Chain A
Amino acid sequence: MAFGLYDPNYEHDACGVGMVADLHGRPDHDIVDKALTVLERLAHRGASGAEVETGDGAGILVQVPHRFLVGAAEVAGFTLPDAGGYAVGLAFLPIDADDAHKARSLVEQIAGEESLSVLGWRHLPIESEGLGKTALGAMPRIEQLFVAPDGKADTMTVERRAFVLRKRVEHASDDLYFPSLSARTICYKGMLTSEQLREFFPDLRDPDFESGLALVHSRFSTNTFPSWPLAHPYRYLCHNGEINTLAGNRNWMRAREALLETPLIEGDLSRIYPICTPGASDSASFDEVLELLHLGGRSLPHSVLMMIPEAWENHTLMDHERRAFYRYHASLMEPWDGPAAISFTDGTVVGAVLDRNGLRPSRYWVTDDGLVVLASEVGVLDIPPERVVRKGRLQPGRMFLVDTSKGRLVEDEEIKAELAAEHPYDEWLATDQVRLEELPARTMLTPQHGRVVTQQRQFGYTNEELRIIVAPMARAGAEPIGSMGSDTSIAVLSDRSRLLYDYFTQLFAQVTNPPLDAIREELVTSLAATIGPEANLLEARCGSCRQILLPLPVIDRDDLAKLMYVNEHGETPGFKAFAIDGLFDVREAGRAGAPTDVGGEALRRAIDDVRKRVSDAIADGANIIVLSDRNATADWAPIPSLLLTAAIHHHLVREKTRTKVGLVVETGDAREVHHMALLIGFGAAAVNPYLALDSIDDMISEGLLEGVSPRQARRNYIKAACKGVLKVMSKMGISTVASYTGAQVFEAIGLDAGIIDEYFTGTSSRIGGVGLPVLAAEVAERHLRAHEPRPTEQAHRELEVGGEYQWRREGEFHLFNPKTVFKLQHATRSKRYEIFKEYTAAVDDQAEKLGTLRGLLRLKPAEDGPIPLDDVEPISSIMARFSTGAMSYGSISAEAHETLAIAMNRIGGRSNTGEGGEDADRFTPDANGDLRRSAIKQVASGRFGVTGEYLVNADDLQIKISQGAKPGEGGQLPGNKVWPWIAKTRSSTPGVGLISPPPHHDIYSIEDIAQLIHDLKSSNPQARVHVKLVAEVGVGTVAAGVAKAHSDVVLISGHDGGTGAAPLTSLKHAGIPWEIGLAETQQTLLVNGLRDRIVVQVDGQLKTGRDVLIGALLGAEEYGFASAPLVVSGCIMMRVCHLDTCPVGIATQTPALRKKFSGKPEFVETFFEYVAEEVRELLASLGLRSLDEAIGRVDLLDTEAAIGHWKASGLDLSSVLAEPDVPETMGRRQLRLQDHGLEKALDHQFKDACAPALDGRGPVSMELPISNVDRTVGTLLGSEISRRFGAAGLADDTISLTFFGSAGQSFGAFVPRGVTMRLYGDANDYFGKGLSGGRLIVRPPLASPFVAEEQIIAGNVILYGATAGEVFIRGQVGERFCVRNSGATAVVEGVGDHGCEYMTGGLVVVLGPTGRNFAAGMSGGVAYVYDPTRSFGQRVNLELVDVEPLDASDSFRVRSLVERHGVETESAVAARLLEHWDTEVLEFVKVMPRDYRRILEATRLAEAEGRSVDEAVMVAAHG
């Protein structure tokens, strides 16, 4: 179904998951009924597409309802054996009768071969009336298959034979699918909405249809392509989440097949290969491997833990045996990494597990009569409070299990302890596993000093790379930072010889799954992995872990020597290394600009040769393969190590010998983080970047790198490289290098399909590009530099100067260069359109220098000639579509920020606050009529200054998921820019750097963004809600998901944009040009029928009218500019925004530099007028009267002949220009508004009643019932208050609302002062999100029998981004409590992991247990933790905070809060503490951020001495 740029492989889904079980597994129809109710109550977590009546999928997995089936079979005319003696399952057959007949025959034939007999096919009753057209159109013929073993066989034998049958059938036929085929469980599912499932399958309503347990699932897909099999559950599980390492996991699994053996499955296993069905979804593949592990002899929980181990690597508190269990299994299999809540069942046990990050919510209840309910949300089943004896939540890495055979819950500890005790894993490891540091030391000869320069030339090193990349890494152990995006040509458009690495960009998580926070949540990550042969996955034995443990994937030369000469003298038996040179004959490979086929052929032959020799070596027993490019000669040049690594990796995967060896790469070309990441991502277990390390030695001896010893410098470099790799992994949401290895989370831009298919199999490369001849020529060019025939021609020029990061004449082409910057500034300042045209010509005319993909596109002039310019819409209506980019106040100065705002308000466009809040004084017009308010208010992961007042003062609310400069990462504002006035707007601590979290902690999945959109819409119903994405493969499907999540606007950013600071790796190597992303978005939205309900915006290095028009033709109706208006304002691309030294007063807060700001709103106005005027001219030339007529008109574009260019001539942009075959009537631009469903909000039931309070007619109070479907309660009311009263709100308690029941997500979000909301019951995630002064109290219902402080009463991510207000919670809560709180006060009786993360202000009192990683990234505010067991010290992250006893004023403060907590919640804990306050107060500790303390003290001192507080604070901060 792939079309144009749309590829179904990039579909994502997420969902609501539910489970209902009887502790004893007593079959009852009531369980089924309840499960279906749970599903219906999770409807808001699913989605529907263009048609509301077509769902994305829903299903249920239950025990085989034997009693019911016996009856049904009888009706169908056959008899069933005893329960467990047969397997049954739904079958999705072809609609066509003949095809269906053939399919049945196929099943029967294979069944026969597998010693099974088909008992019968039951025509399954269905009621399809309510289904939408799309679902109906794709609906298969649904029957039910019954098979039984020939002869006697136990249930597991039946199960295994049915498994083999199902596998074989699925491989043999494309249009035959079994949701399940099992003797123990059965799955009913389809392309249905949650509500439809019950209606569609009458079986499910039959009172005889009984089960003791049930899993249900409602799917939210990013698109609406009709598919019935994609619904969950699968055979063993429901999955909420996404497997990010899927490509690697599948490849490894495929390679492992050769080693699989088990006596439990009869016959040759190869007949069921491949285990992972190609093209299946991540959940399906996960299910297939889980199934294999389980049927191969492991229990289901054991199998699950092999695939989703908890974060054991850095878990210091974990017991020894359990660690050994994980360590052992890590040598068998890499984790399937990515956010996941998996609920699973084999019919007897039913459980759920959360991945190591815990990024999916799961809550459970147990009743006094043995009913267990687990779901993504609390409150999905109405159970009288007095029956509920336990309320809990699933914790990261923990398993929740009901064993119906035992009739009880099995606690996580017990499950794991039992599994860990099964085998002497620890002994096995001690015998077999070798640590790298234990290997005998070998010394590697340091290469001759004189060779370093030759090698550097050989591998294309530039002075710039040494200066900007390598030296800082070696000096500081950290990755270098840059600013202002990237405006250089991508590799395939570059005239220069580029490294193969440059043709790949990193993929990153956006919306459908979160990036990780590798900085603050490091404890879940691991860079360690093993290298060496793997053994049979299905067998647990000593010897399976004969591997070497590598602590880091980047190794120095001594470590390399250890591996290369391992067991040289027989001292480490079981290992054998084989090193091979990866070189090719370069003599006739041409050079840059002149590739030759001979060169390409030589490269291909050389790779083939290495492949063959590696295979031979493996046959000979080698299990460590070292690929080296060290020994190049005058005639033999290095094969690009990435090409070589990937080529060998895929060759061995195909040969199925891959798991027999570990790949080590000894390479001179790798020096950047991106390079290491690619090598690992395409299969390397270890990388030795020898030349980078040699270069460091050389720089030190040449005096270019000072203040660090060579040894320390090399160590620093490796540390920086590894940290960088971790960050690249985390952008994709991958936590362990073991699962990152070979995961191929990259996209190629500009590589020919031939190369991709052969060497980078499975990687996306959508516009074609260069082949081996060009790659060979690029190497040849560098090779020539190393072997100049006349060396003195390059006298005084050891290395090339560079020019990628800073413009240089001999370097890469930049769109912003001296000429374009000058012309642009001159034109707009002197108001001369003719000079502006010189500027746009210099940007647009890419005949010689190819800067952008759009440079390759040609506008087709109207056949009848241009229309008169006067007929084209005026510039005013064009300018209304313009906006400026998100640049925060803080990253840029007030002068620069307000200049843009004033200009955009004058021209009717929109400026953007960026992620830094906005001063309230900008909300009202100035005396001269200018408005300094930014129309677009950004909501980013840091939520800086996101208050109710901020939100109501917006025309657009923009959710920043990613930004072009560094997708997958949070923003960062270095401490030297956080001047007191910036800190004030952001509610943070002056002088303390601000890092916003990589993920939005309320967006872990697509249904979460739907929730945030709903929250924001509720906070300001008049504003449009945007979602900002960055182009990468699959962005179209994400955009479709966003459209389904009811976003009003989706913004597609190019990879190259970006004004703020970013790690250079991200700046250069993440994301793709917007041309591709935008086209993919337009195509995907059209194909899904979603285009007409959403506005599409584009940005990323837009500079001219032509850029705008190309954007329009590719499908965008609005256009964002950032760099260009900054240049107009005076920016000269210093690219030091992160240093606070901007010499033109833009990206700085330093008062002296701000004075140098020379921009004026008039200049910016002129710029946009000119751009709009150009747009008009171009529209006229195309014969179009308005931009509306241009949107999506790809037929007006043509591929400019790039034929002359030695690289770009291989590009094929036809997929970018593809037009989906959809009816003419289908809207190609936004024509209708999204239905936000705000009218259903609970707020409408009390808003009117609250009116008197708003009119000053006295307080109001009300009581109401509430349930989990009531989401974002209080926010609509709050928005009215904020609109009328601003930040001040109303007097405390003016409005008092009391609710009974389970509150839906985002209870009390952004509620301002004056509103008090009491909840008797419990609450879901995002409770108190962005609280802006209101008061929230939650306590158990009066009837609850349990001990409140032991139960979970509210969910994850409470008070995210709160700025003010108070919260009292009687009971415990989930993960990330008070994340990014900057002003609210909260009392709670226990929190999960990562409490008070990133907090910058406010006050938190925890009266119960805390999870791990408390106070990570906390730079402001104070927390008090009650710690009678003195265990808090192990759980707090001490990087930024001190833990200390309370002083007198603290005690007073805590006591008064505990007293209030008691009053508000009747807390038993509070009562107990107060009773013995004098002794209990000693059990409290205070968590104090060090920076915060320093600033408080400086402030106090300055005030006392009458000095300027601002200056004192900055001095203290910098000191």
Chain B
Amino acid sequence: MGKTTGFMEHGRELPRRRPVPVRLRDWKEVYEPFPEESTKLQGARCMDCGIPFCHDGCPLGNLIPEWNDLVYRDDWPEAMERLHATNNFPEFTGRLCPAPCEAACVLGINEDPVTIERIEYEIVERAWSEGWVTPQQPTVHTGSSVAVVGSGPAGLAAAQQLVRAGHLVTVFERAERPGGLLRYGIPEFKMEKAVLDRRLAQMEAEGVTFVCSTSVGGVADAGSPSGDRVIEPGEERGLGSACAPGVQVRSAAEVRAAFDAVVLAGGATLPRDLPVPGRELDGVHYALEYLKPANLVQEGALAASPITAAGKRVVIIGGGDTGADCLGTAHRQGAASVHQFEIMPEPPSDRLADNPWPIWPLILRSSAAHEEGGERLFSVTTTEFVDDGSGAVRALRGHTVEMRTEGGRPVFEVVPGTEFELECELVLLAMGFLGTERRNAVDELGVEVGPRGNVAADREWATNVEGVFVCGDQTRGQSLIVWAIAEGRSCAAAVDRWLMGTTSLPAPIVPGQLAMR
């Protein structure tokens, strides 16, 4: 059980981030290597708690004390086993998860928590480099087939679990390559895409078939010569932004008929808009309209992004992770300046009394991107985009707000006399997502959508349509990658049970399960 007094002897330590000027230039991940010995000592800090709140705080139920201990005791292969016992893709969460486990770490009550996420990263990276991560090819085939629609973390997790259960699994992806937000939302400096590709290769070796540039459901664009570009009726901007050019459309009914079960894992891709005067101006974009081409450039699929921050004054509206992703990307593209707006007031630096351990701390978080520059403004709202005369944005107008709660909901009031104008050439809207798109398999199959815009699932992850299941953001709404993987795993177990009458696949969560609060 690790070292019983480790937490009293060693402090929390993380690898250093590479110097800002260097990392801004090469787009690579920001951390320097961490010596093995340091990782082991960090593992020794784990207290092997009677109630490991970290293990509860993690939606996947990662066996954190177990692998902390194994790392401390230098048993890396076993640590990798234990890590994969609950998590299909620790290399993703090890980079991208905001680590609710660390927020729940018991040591965090009165000390710095254990560097759980980093240890996870070190274990899995070592496992990859040592060649320990091998395909788990199923030895028994059931003859059943499952279509997974969407190849983000939820779809991938479901697919991997289902293929290991012996089913024939096909993953449909409307973009040109699989990965969803992992590939086109997450910037390279947070996760290099090679990390995704090696995992996809493992899945293919296990038997998963990926069918890209294919939308399940949707209407072909009649105006397109090839007739194969998906258009979204309604024409909200940004919809379908993740689509590949030249995407194929397969009718949802046909897919449903061709497979014994269908898993919808298409995400919550409807971005929240900011309907203020000037919204239609050039230079005002949804975050993902901006991030995807940036990633395509890094991937080599695109020579230059049509939307670049180079030399521009940039305003990002939205203080969350997507905003931070835009921030880091903008700096790397050579933005002249970046401002990040957040309508909420600046959070405290420490937990408030009504936000105690072990629940998620509502405190000011600064990511690596924030350290690279830019200015964060809190309690501000935007009221208007100003035309430069040519149909492009020249500036935005806004003012400071004051928040109060009314009936449990926040209400923002203008603080008189705080109006301002900020000059900018690029505005990125990173204000969250509103739920599932509908003009595709959802509407075509008649899948029920709940009041919050997400596909409704029952206790068995089933939609109202026989044999059609759903997981990930498409039912949960926008969330964390770790929830997506947990949903995919759990949904796979339900699909397996539906197909076979019984399952031995693990199911870490039930639909709609929330973090403790």
Q: Which residues of A contact B (CB under 8 A)?
A: 463, 467, 483-484, 702-704, 706, 784-785, 788-798, 801, 805-810, 814, 816-819, 821-822, 825-826, 829-830, 1130, 1132-1136, 1139, 1141, 1143-1144, 1150, 1152-1153, 1156, 1158
Q: Which residues of B contact A (CB under 8 A)?
A: 1, 4-5, 7-8, 47-53, 55-57, 61, 63, 65-66, 73, 75, 78, 81-82, 84-85, 104, 106-107, 109-111, 136-140, 142, 161, 164-166, 353-354, 356, 358-359, 496, 503-506, 508, 516
Shortest Cβ distance from A580 into chain B, in angstroms? 32
Instruction: Pick the most buried of A809, A817, A1134: most chain B CB atoms within 10 A of its CB.
Output: A809
Shortest Cβ distance from B111 into chain A, in angstroms? 8
With A793-B161, A795-B84, A1136-B50 given, can you name 17 additional A-B contacts, CB distance below 8 Å?
Answer: A785-B504, A790-B138, A790-B140, A791-B140, A796-B82, A796-B84, A796-B85, A796-B136, A801-B63, A806-B51, A807-B52, A807-B55, A808-B52, A830-B353, A1130-B109, A1132-B53, A1143-B107
A1133 contacts B356, C-beta separation under 8 Å: no
The verdict on A795 contacting B164 (CB below 8 Å), with A818-B358, A1152-B8 known, is: yes
The verdict on A792 contacting B55 (CB below 8 Å), with A806-B49, A810-B61 known, is: no
Shortest Cβ distance from A974 into chain B, in angstroms? 12
Chain B residue contacts of A826, Cβ below 8 A: 356
The verdict on A703 contacting B50 (CB below 8 Å), with A822-B516, A1152-B8 known, is: no
Chain B residue contacts of A816, Cβ below 8 A: 51
A818 contacts B140, C-beta separation under 8 Å: no
Per the bound structure, the CA–CA distance linking A1130 and B47 in Å amounts to 16
A822 contacts B139, C-beta separation under 8 Å: no
Per the bound structure, the CA–CA distance linking A792 and B166 in Å amounts to 8
When the two chains form the complex, which single residue of A788, A809, A1136 contacts B56, counting CB atoms closer than 8 Å? A809
The verdict on A1143 contacting B504 (CB below 8 Å), with A792-B136, A795-B136, A810-B61 known, is: no
Per the bound structure, the CA–CA distance linking A1364 and B354 in Å amounts to 53
B52 contacts A806, C-beta separation under 8 Å: yes
Chain B residue contacts of A484, Cβ below 8 A: 50
The verdict on A1133 contacting B51 (CB below 8 Å), with A788-B504, A1143-B109 known, is: yes
Shortest Cβ distance from A1028 into chain B, in angstroms? 25
Shortest Cβ distance from B157 into chain A, in angstroms? 13
Per the bound structure, the CA–CA distance linking A1133 and B50 in Å amounts to 5
Chain B residue contacts of A1130, Cβ below 8 A: 109
B63 contacts A704, C-beta separation under 8 Å: no
The verdict on A790 contacting B165 (CB below 8 Å), with A795-B84, A825-B356, A1143-B107 known, is: yes
Per the bound structure, the CA–CA distance linking A467 and B73 in Å amounts to 13
Per the bound structure, the CA–CA distance linking A491 and B90 in Å amounts to 35
Shortest Cβ distance from B494 into chain A, in angstroms? 13
Chain B residue at smallest Cβ distance from A1157: B110
Shortest Cβ distance from B102 into chain A, in angstroms? 15
Chain A residue at smallest Cβ distance from B3: A1141
Chain B residue contacts of A801, Cβ below 8 A: 63, 66, 85
A702 contacts B78, C-beta separation under 8 Å: yes
Chain A residue contacts of B48, Cβ below 8 A: 806, 1136
Shortest Cβ distance from A798 into chain B, in angstroms? 7
Chain A residue at smallest Cβ distance from B160: A795
Chain B residue at smallest Cβ distance from A814: B51
The verdict on A791 contacting B110 (CB below 8 Å), with A806-B52, A1153-B8 known, is: no
Per the bound structure, the CA–CA distance linking A789 and B165 in Å amounts to 10
When the two chains form the complex, which single residue of B49, B140, B166 contacts A1132, counting CB atoms closer than 8 Å? B49
Chain A residue contacts of B63, Cβ below 8 A: 801, 808
B47 contacts A1143, C-beta separation under 8 Å: yes
When the two chains form the complex, which single residue of A463, A797, A822, A1153 contacts B506, counting CB atoms closer than 8 Å? A797
Chain B residue at smallest Cβ distance from A801: B63
Chain B residue contacts of A1133, Cβ below 8 A: 49-51
A818 contacts B53, C-beta separation under 8 Å: yes
Shortest Cβ distance from B61 into chain A, in angstroms? 4
Chain B residue contacts of A483, Cβ below 8 A: 50
When the two chains form the complex, which single residue of A791, A818, A1134 contacts B47, counting CB atoms closer than 8 Å? A1134
Chain A residue contacts of B109, Cβ below 8 A: 1130, 1132, 1143-1144, 1156, 1158
When the two chains form the complex, which single residue of B47, B51, B139 contacts A821, counting CB atoms closer than 8 Å? B51
Chain B residue contacts of A785, Cβ below 8 A: 504
The verdict on A808 contacting B78 (CB below 8 Å), with A829-B356, A1132-B49 known, is: no
Chain B residue contacts of A790, Cβ below 8 A: 138-140, 142, 164-166, 504
Per the bound structure, the CA–CA distance linking A830 and B352 in Å amounts to 11
The verdict on A792 contacting B51 (CB below 8 Å), with A830-B353, A1143-B110 known, is: no
When the two chains form the complex, which single residue of A793, A818, A819, A825 contacts B164, counting CB atoms closer than 8 Å? A793
Chain B residue contacts of A793, Cβ below 8 A: 161, 164-166, 496, 503-505
The verdict on A819 contacting B516 (CB below 8 Å), with A703-B75, A1143-B47 known, is: yes
Instruction: Pick the most buried of A792, A814, A830, A1156: most chain B CB atoms within 10 A of its CB.
Output: A792
B49 contacts A1134, C-beta separation under 8 Å: yes
Chain B residue at smallest Cβ distance from A821: B51
Chain A residue at smallest Cβ distance from B49: A1134
Instruction: Pick the most buried of B48, B49, B51, B53: most chain A CB atoms within 10 A of its CB.
Output: B51
When the two chains form the complex, which single residue of B52, B142, B358, B504 contacts A794, counting CB atoms closer than 8 Å? B504
7 example contacts (A-B, Cβ-Cβ < 8 A) are as follows: A808-B63, A809-B55, A822-B53, A822-B359, A1132-B51, A1135-B50, A1156-B109
Per the bound structure, the CA–CA distance linking A650 and B358 in Å amounts to 53
A704 contacts B85, C-beta separation under 8 Å: no
Shortest Cβ distance from B143 into chain A, in angstroms? 12
B50 contacts A806, C-beta separation under 8 Å: yes
Chain B residue contacts of A1134, Cβ below 8 A: 47, 49-51, 106
Instruction: Pick the most buried of B48, B111, B504: most chain A CB atoms within 10 A of its CB.
Output: B504
Per the bound structure, the CA–CA distance linking A892 and B319 in Å amounts to 46
B4 contacts A1141, C-beta separation under 8 Å: yes
Per the bound structure, the CA–CA distance linking A668 and B421 in Å amounts to 77
A1141 contacts B47, C-beta separation under 8 Å: yes
A809 contacts B508, C-beta separation under 8 Å: yes
B50 contacts A830, C-beta separation under 8 Å: no
Chain A residue contacts of B136, Cβ below 8 A: 792, 795-796
B51 contacts A830, C-beta separation under 8 Å: no
A792 contacts B106, C-beta separation under 8 Å: no
Per the bound structure, the CA–CA distance linking A806 and B104 in Å amounts to 16
Per the bound structure, the CA–CA distance linking A830 and B7 in Å amounts to 28
Per the bound structure, the CA–CA distance linking A1139 and B6 in Å amounts to 13
Per the bound structure, the CA–CA distance linking A275 and B214 in Å amounts to 87
Per the bound structure, the CA–CA distance linking A339 and B155 in Å amounts to 69
Chain A residue contacts of B508, Cβ below 8 A: 809
Chain A residue contacts of B166, Cβ below 8 A: 790, 792-793
Shortest Cβ distance from B120 into chain A, in angstroms? 14
B140 contacts A808, C-beta separation under 8 Å: no
Chain A residue contacts of B358, Cβ below 8 A: 818, 822
A796 contacts B81, C-beta separation under 8 Å: yes
Chain A residue contacts of B161, Cβ below 8 A: 793
A789 contacts B140, C-beta separation under 8 Å: yes
Per the bound structure, the CA–CA distance linking A795 and B78 in Å amounts to 13
Per the bound structure, the CA–CA distance linking A789 and B502 in Å amounts to 11
Shortest Cβ distance from A1053 into chain B, in angstroms? 21
Per the bound structure, the CA–CA distance linking A706 and B56 in Å amounts to 30
